[in-house]
Amino acid sequence: MKTFYENAEIYRGGHFAKGRLVVEEGRVVADCEPQPGDRRVDLSGLYLVPGLVDVHVHLREPGFPQKETIATGTAAAAHGGYTTVCSMPNLNPAPDTPEHLEEQLALIRRDALVRVVPYGTITLGQRGCGELADFEALAPYVAGFSDDGRGVQSAELMEEAMRRAAAVHKPIVAHCEVDELLRGGYIHDGVYCREHGHRGISSESEWRQVERDIALAERTGCQYHVCHVSTKESVELVRQAKARGLKVSCETGPHYLLLCDEDLQEDGRFKMNPPLRSREDRQALIEGIQDGTIEAIATDHAPHTAEEKSRGLERSAMGIVGLETAFPLLYTYLVKRGVLTLERLVELMSVQPRRLFSLEGGIATGDKADFTVLDLHAHYAIDPATFRSKGHATPFAGWEVDGRAVMTVVDGRAVYDTLTTNSIR
Ligand code: DOR
């Protein structure tokens, strides 16, 4: 039996056009005519795009199920329209050996609602120093190698990591942060910080390491991806590296595109690392997504318990949730305001991250059928009480938005569906 998804505006080859998608046994098949017994789903008035991909999420298992689990994190992903997420390795145990990684893979096989592709660590114990993990043993199972949450401090160690990652054809995915420049900071070292007596994180703590790593990527030939770029200097460094033809890419998050330090409130839901930067930085990031320097928007979905986020700017844990708000926020505040086209947003949230990390799924004939159906007319206010994630801390609570995922399909199976049923699974 085939399923015909009909009458949607479908994103194909960079454009939307009215059409239908035919799925059989979990795969997209060539267009054909429905026969008696086939299933037909009417998507009139809706948009169908290759499933959204978030290359930077924290699912917290194994180790921290009080913050999030594979089950709740992937339910949040499905709710937000994501069909694939890449999970960060700041876990316990960290995925630094095949045995430790297997603990996470077993939970993924058991509980994941969407595709989850983990990162392996760069260093043993994800310490940002010491010894490197066994990249060769981990490579078949991971999207790349990252110590996200920590920068790799030693240039020698990073160079060796890049050589070994290049040998197994996987990217290094770097959280860039120079520890000795942090000096106890926890929000951006800008006007708000000074006026309210906080300790600041300088932009230099990020871009110095981006600069170092780009030079190492050039020397080693490694594919190098910078996590959650937040400063104008980092954007410029990546722009120049790309102009020199290096295999360098980067992502930024919705919060860095829509907020700056002028929006800070004395509330833990405004605290994440890197921090919300200046208005100028935000403008540079927008130019980066417009001119192709920034190839992916990733949420850095980083759930914590309500208590961990309740201690104000200075003492709350770093991190906000993002999977269930990214598309509506970016659609409302970038696409509807003319900053980006919808087609470019689909490239940034789906096409390019999938290509960068060689991830499967999509809507081309032969692909595993992973797609998202969007209702661009839904209008509502963001309400954390509706989240599937255990984490509720978001600076966007109460924001009015348009657009939401109404159906998320992975391997031809609806994992979130408000059209034909109200249930998940
Ligand atoms: O805000 C953040 N939260 N930044 C990170 O780098 C780590 C993450 C987390 O794991 O909570």
Query: Buried b / exposed e across 33-54, counting CB within 10 Å, b at 16+?
Result: eeeeeeeebebeebbbbbbbbb
The answer on 187 and 55 residing in a single domain is yes
In a domain, residue 69? The reply is: yes
Looking at the fold, whether 144 and 281 belong to one and the same domain comes out as: yes
Structural domain boundaries, residue 322: 51-356
- pLDDT recorded at residue 421: 60
Distance CA 157, CA 172 (A): 12
Does 207 lie in the same domain as 75? yes
Same domain, 296 and 400: no
- To test the pocket of ligand 1, the residue of 55, 56, 57, 58 to mutate (highest count of ligand atoms within 8 Å of its CB) is 58
User: Which amino acid is it at 335?
Assistant: V
Same domain as 322, residue 402:
no
Q: Is 300 a catalytic residue?
A: yes
**Dihedral sign for Cα atoms in the order 318, 321, 327, 331:** negative
Of ligand 1's listed atoms, the one at least distance from the Cα of 319 is: 1
For residues 103 and 188, membership in a common domain is answered with yes
Computed over every residue of the chain, the mean pLDDT equals 97
Q: What is the DSSP letter of 140?
A: G
Number of folded domains in the chain?
Answer: 2
Same domain? For 141 and 43 the reply is no
Q: Does residue 423 fall inside a structural domain?
A: no
Catalytic one of 148, 261, 300, 367: 300
b/e sequence 226-265, b meaning 16+ C-beta within 10 Å: bbbbbbbbbbbbbbebbeeebbbbbbbbbbbbbbbbeebe
User: Distance between alpha carbon 296 and the CA centroid of its chain, in Å?
Assistant: 8
Task: With a cut of 70, say whether residue 183 has pLDDT above it.
Answer: yes
pLDDT of res. 424:
38
Q: Are residues 66 and 111 in the same domain?
A: yes
Q: Is the CB of 318 under 6 A from ligand 1?
A: yes
Give tens-digit pLDDT for 59-95: 999 999 999 999 999 999 999 999 999 999 999 999 9
Question: Are 58 and 28 found together in one domain?
Answer: no
341 in the same domain as 245: yes
Q: Quick one: three-class SS letters along 189-249? A: CCHHHHHCCCCEECCHHHHHHHHHHHHHHHHHCCCEEECCCCCHHHHHHHHHHHHCCCCEE
**Is residue 41 domain-resident?**
yes
pLDDT one-digit tens code per residue, 96-145: 999 999 999 999 999 999 999 999 999 999 999 999 999 999 999 999 99
Indicate which residue's Cα is closest to atom 3 of ligand 1: 319
Cβ of 302 less than 6 Å from ligand 1 = yes
314 DSSP assignment = H
pLDDT at 425 over 60: no
What CATH number has the domain bearing residue 248? 3.20.20.140
Neighbours of 8 (CB within 10 A): 24
Q: Is 146 in the pocket of ligand 1 (CB under 6 A)?
A: no
Cβ within 8 Å of residue 355, ≥6 positions away: none
Residue nearest to atom 6 of ligand 1 (CA): 149
Nearest residue (CA) to ligand 1, atom 9: 302
